[in-house]
Amino acid sequence: MRSRNDQNRSNTGNRFSQKKDRSVCTHCGYLGHTIDKCYKLHGYPPGYKPRQKSHYNNNTTNSAPQVNQVSESVMALGNNFVQIVNPSQYSQLLSMLSSHLKEAKLDDNSASTLVKDIYWLWKNVNSWHEKEFQWFLDNVQYKCRNILRYECVFGEGFVSPGGLETTKEFVSKLELKPGQKVLDVGGGIGGTEFYMAEHFDVEVVAIDLSINMVSIALDCAIGSNCSVEFEVADCTKKPYPDSTFDVIYSHDTILHTQDKPALFRSFLKWLKPGGKVLITDYYKSSGTPSPEFEAYIRQRGYDLHDVEAYGQMLKDAGFDEVIAKDSTEQFIQVLQKEMDAVEKEKDKFISDFSEEDYNNIVGG
């Protein structure tokens, strides 16, 4: 899909022939971010757990910190924290922290780090409504355990059907060129972003509302040699300057967005002249859905439309050359292939996770 002002784009020729230098953080020395976004300096998002080594010292013999210690650590962060939550929410947060600390058996320093991580969450989400939806993502649909089992099914770095295979197919349609800048809305745990950056030498900015997703992606990104940036952000509220990106990509994410027309208008503004957007998403058939499907949509908080209506929203937003395609049959085949693979490795899957996890995956 191309923006309407495609014909105004000048021939860039060799514009992207030179590889762009990646920014280097002056604090930690890693490539891909600057000091104002350094996670080692400002703290990792909540839920961050390195895959190869423990983020916290679990060998401590100290007893688990209690709620009053957590309260002192929270208050040490300053009055801004107390001002953005009501007393009931504050009490709930302390209770949650106390539970996590007892499970982890953390020392005082680690407890303080965890509190700061939780504060990071609250500070970077703008409204209580967003926090509720973010809570749903990180504690229901995309709990860390769920993410890992999705990754086991769909392949390393992926949490959506098709994994790397469909990613290659979709990305090939974008005709990426070295030096281009890509926005991935709903970037997940990084598989698509790393693929685009490593194979096409593009700069990728990935946003996702799930802190668990971004935490895992950040863990994978540390020490990587490609230009990928991850951020916890709401795509409906994140501002970008006009004409920032050459490409906007989104895979199975926008079904969570209620006001799609407004988001698509933002996409158009964020794209450079002649920029492209590629979206894959769930849809529903025209007409009234069955009571069972309606209940499923409501439980998940999805906003679904039929294919024709989806394409029309993009046209109404100002996009030209819109192609709205039903790929149901293709994904049925993809899902069946993945299902067969899981069933073939049932014993290993149950060993790695549990029989309940296996049944949840097989049962949908």
pLDDT tens for 180-211 read 999 999 999 999 999 999 999 999 999 998 88
End-to-end CA distance of the chain: 32
Closest CA to 3 of 321, 233, 299: 321
Quick one: pLDDT at residue 105?
Answer: 53
pTM, full prediction:
0.65
| Gap between the Cα atoms of 328 and 310, Å rounded | 15
pLDDT digits (tens, 9 = 90+) for 47-66: 444 444 333 333 333 333 33
Quick one: pLDDT at residue 57?
Answer: 34
**360 versus 347: which is more confidently predicted?**
347
Considering the chain, what percentage of its residues have pLDDT values greater than 90?
Answer: 45
Q: Is the sign of the CA dihedral 83, 89, 90, 94 positive or negative?
A: negative
Q: Which pair of structure tokens corresponds to residue 135?
A: 């809570």
Quick one: pLDDT at residue 221?
Answer: 83
- Per-residue pLDDT at 20 exceeds 70: no
Could you tell me the pLDDT band of residue 99, with boundaries at 50, 70 and 90?
A: low
Distance of alpha carbon 233 from the chain centroid: 9
Closest CA to 141 of 312, 256, 258: 256
Q: Rounded mean pLDDT of 319-329? A: 95
Q: Detail the DSSP E strand segments found in the chain.
A: 2-3, 181-185, 203-208, 228-232, 245-251, 271-280, 319-320
Location of structure tokens 């089992």: 149
Could you tell me the pLDDT band of residue 305, with boundaries at 50, 70 and 90?
A: very high
- Per-residue pLDDT at 219 exceeds 80: yes
| Gap between the Cα atoms of 231 and 125, Å rounded | 12
Looking at every residue in the chain, the average pLDDT score rounds to 75
